[in-house]
Amino acid sequence: QVQLVESGGDLVQPGGSLRLSCVASGSSFSLSTMGWYRQAPGKQRELVADITKSGTTTYADSVKGRFTISRDNTKKTVYLQMNSLKPEDTAVYYCSQYFIGRTWGQGTQVTVSS
C-alpha cells in the first residue's frame, strides 16, 4: 500500500520561500502523476501543481511563476518550491499520487503571515 509523507511546512513571512517534500513508498512512483493540492479554512481542496511521469507540469494560475514542482524518481520524492509567498497561500498542502487510484498524504501546514 502506497504511503505519502509530506514535510517542509512552516510559518513564513510574505515574500519568503519554502520547499515542500513528499516521499512515497511502493513501486509505482515513477509511473505516477504526482501532485500538490491545498486546502484553506472554509475552502475546497484545490490543485496547486502536478507533474506527470514524463515530467509535464501543470500549475494553478494563482501560483504560476512563483511555484515550481519537480520530482526525483530515484528518491521517490516530489518537491514544491514556493517563492514570493503571499498570505493567500496559507493552507494545508497535500501530496497526491495518481496511479490507477489516488493516494493522499496527511498534509503539511503552510502559514504566510507577518
- For the chain, the farthest-separated pair of C-alpha atoms sits apart, in whole angstroms, at 42
Give pLDDT, residue 103.
95
Quote the cell numbers at residue 58.
Answer: 501543470
Give pLDDT, residue 81.
98
Give pLDDT, residue 100.
87
Mean pLDDT of 11-36: 96
Task: Indicate whether 64 pLDDT > 90.
Answer: yes
pLDDT digits (tens, 9 = 90+) for 79-103: 999 999 999 999 999 999 999 899 9
Quote the cell numbers at residue 104.
Answer: 493522499
Give pLDDT, residue 2.
82
- Residue 76's SS3 state is coil
Within a 10 A sphere around the Cβ of 94, how many other Cβ atoms? 21
- d(C-alpha 4, C-alpha 17), whole Å: 23
pLDDT digits (tens, 9 = 90+) for 26-59: 889 999 999 999 999 999 999 999 999 999 999 9
State the pLDDT confidence band at 1, using cuts at 50, 70 and 90. confident
pLDDT digits (tens, 9 = 90+) for 70-83: 999 999 999 999 99
Q: Which residues contact 43 (CB under 8 A, 6 or more apart)?
A: 91
Mean pLDDT of 60-70: 98
